[in-house]
Amino acid sequence: MSSAARLPLLAAGSAAVLALAGCTANESSGDADLVAGKKLFVQRCGSCHVLGRAETKGTTGPNLDNAFANPVHEGFGESAIRGMVREQIALARRGSAMPADLVRGDEARDVAAYVAQSVAKPGKDEGLLATAVQSAGAGKPATAQNGKLTISADPNGQLAYANPAATAPAGKLTIVMPNQSGVPHNIAIDGKGKGAIVEKGDSTFSATFAPGVYEYYCQVEGHKAAGMLGKLTVK
């Protein structure tokens, strides 16, 4: 069973929670960097997991708010949940949904601390946490220039394009999607073409467009459903 599949099972019961947390249940978070933890969570974990306060919408791993709802409801504190998250990271095995060594050392500490203070809690992050990561899809509309239209993947690893809308004149158009995040993405428009799926680099294709409205989206499984799509208006 993968580590991703284990998490909801382990989080489902109080006894399992205590057993999993073990000697790490009382781990101190006094030296954890929550801002760094949020950034790392979004970059490394957000493409797989939903976490409401982080605004991540991953579809391949457990919804963390749901998975930890029962422990939070039963009164398990942040130290116990930190221990659970650290254990889940450490238990990741080769070939599982969660890659080994996703985060280590201080990075694992920071991610676990952020998840523990955020998971299954209503509301939004405040203070420095509120601005630690730009909201997905918050960029300005992209505009074609000299027959080229650049629509970037979210650089923080969110399942979104940085440009949720774009405009271009009718005619031949080369569409380029730079991806700096390390999360695999591409860009496609039905009936027009698709770029290669890339983790680092550019996904690009060319086509001729008549006036109209077109939807561009990512073809990686689950990404479109999570909101990685936008509208291209050709005039």
Tokens, residue 1:
């069973």
Q: Is 52 left (phi over 0), alpha (psi -120 to 50) or beta?
A: alpha
User: Does the domain at residues 142-234 carry the CATH identifier 3.90.920.20?
Assistant: no
CATH topology for 3-131 is Cytochrome Bc1 Complex; Chain D, domain 2 (1.10.760)
Residues of the chain with CATH 1.10.760.10: 3-131
Tens-place pLDDT, residues 184-227: 999 999 999 999 999 999 999 999 999 999 999 999 999 999 89
**Rounded Cα gap, residues 181 and 28, in angstroms:** 31
94 pLDDT band, cuts 50/70/90, is low
In single-letter form, the type of residue at position 129 comes to L
Angle, helices 14-21 vs 78-91, to 10°: value is: 70
Secondary structure E strands in 73-228: 142-143, 148-150, 165-168, 171-179, 188-189, 193-194, 201-209, 212-217
Write out the DSSP string of 66-110: HHTHHHHHTT--HHHHHHHHHHHHHH--TTSSS-TTSS-HHHHHH
pTM of the model: 0.70
